[in-house]
Structure 1
Amino acid sequence: MANISLMIGGREFMLACADGEEAHLTRLAEMIDEKLAQAGAVGQTEPRMLLFASLMLADELHELRQRAQQPAAAPVATPPPAPAPVPEIPEVLVEELARIADHVEKLADLLEQSASNA
């Protein structure tokens, strides 16, 4: 068991705590002291200072709980652009492309034959 001295509102408070908890309690006391300074309650009686600090911390806790209960706003995702419609290819062009492909294949065959004869 350790003893610790805490300064809150300009007053010293002695407190017993478990070994290893000193740093944590010091940080908590600093938070309370900061709340008292924000409220302008430093220098008041001890009960009044503790009342102000308690109310301010309770209000902060209440706000945090309210925010935690509110559903998180879903991020607004921008949908990807719709793909451009594929135009229908007229049958005449399909036939012409097939004829050109046949002609290119015949040319490729002729090139292979002439390369193998050389």
Structure 2
Amino acid sequence: MAEVSLAIGGRSYVITCRDGDEARLQHLASLIDAKTQDARRAVPGLTEVRQLLFAALFLADELNDIRTGAIPAAPPAPDPRLADALESLADRMESLVSRLAAVPENA
């Protein structure tokens, strides 16, 4: 088991998770933290518990909108391997074009 430190609402929380889940949990914590900041800006003076409550409500509202189709889900993030494969393919095509350009027309 791994431990990960999550920063939410100006506090740090250390939790135990499965090995390899650390980055995902940190990403999720950053989403929650952003919503606590939204709550703090919208209603100054909220206690920490109320900030977390509003963050949960904001996230639940977004999830509900996505599930009911009120707003479309964000498209999946592009796979970096695809960009590498396209780059490699472009290099190969440029190489073929260069080789073909070097061949005399009568050949």
TM-score range normalised by the length of the shorter chain: 0.5 to 0.7
- CA deviation vs aligned residue, 1:6-55 (integer Å, no higher than 9, x gap): 10010010100000000000000000001111122687433222211110
Name structure 2 gaps, 5 residues minimum: 71-107
Q: Which residue of 1 aligns with 2:2?
A: 2
Name structure 1 gaps, 5 residues minimum: 69-118
Say yes or no: does 1:53 pair with 2:33: no
Question: Which structure 1 residue ranges, 4+ long, deviate > 3 Å from structure 2?
Answer: 41-46
Equivalent pairs, count: 68
Q: Which residue of 1 aligns with 2:33?
A: 33
Amino acid at match of 1:34: A
Q: Is the 8 A contact 1:9 1:49 kept in 2?
A: yes
Structure 2 length-normalised TM: 0.57
Q: Which residue of 2 aligns with 1:85?
A: none
CA distance in 2 between counterparts of 1:44 and 1:12 reads 18
CA distance in 2 between counterparts of 1:62 and 1:32 reads 16
CA distance in 1 between counterparts of 2:36 and 2:47 reads 12
CA distance in 2 between counterparts of 1:31 and 1:43 reads 21
Identity across aligned pairs (percent)?
A: 53
- CA deviation vs aligned residue, 1:38-79 (integer Å, no higher than 9, x gap): 1226874332222111100000011111117xxxxxxxxxxx
Structure 1 length-normalised TM: 0.52
Q: Is the 8 A contact 1:4 1:22 kept in 2?
A: yes
Of 62, 65, 87, the residue aligned with 2:64 is: 62
Question: Which structure's relative contact order is higher, taking Cα pairs within 8 Å and 6+ residues apart?
Answer: 2
Which of structures 1 and 2 has the bigger CA Rg?
A: 1
